[in-house]
Amino acid sequence: MRNGSSVVLLFVMFMVIWRRGFVAFRMVLCCSFTTVVAGLD
């Protein structure tokens, strides 16, 4: 039971970090895209 709960906790932590990293990646992508568009314009 303890081993299973630790695996679940690890999985939850991984999902939270992955989602947060994905959101940060999208924000950087949007910022760079906006900068390129502003530079071209």
10-41: pLDDT as tens digits: 999 999 998 888 888 999 999 998 988 888 76
Range of the domain at 34: 1-41
pLDDT of residue 3: 74
14-40 as b/e: b if 16+ CB within 10 A: eeeeeeeeeeeeeeeeeeeeeeeeeee
pLDDT of residue 1: 57
Domain count of the fold of the chain: 1
pLDDT of residue 41: 66
9/39: higher pLDDT: 9
Structure confidence at residue 8 as a pLDDT band (50, 70, 90): very high
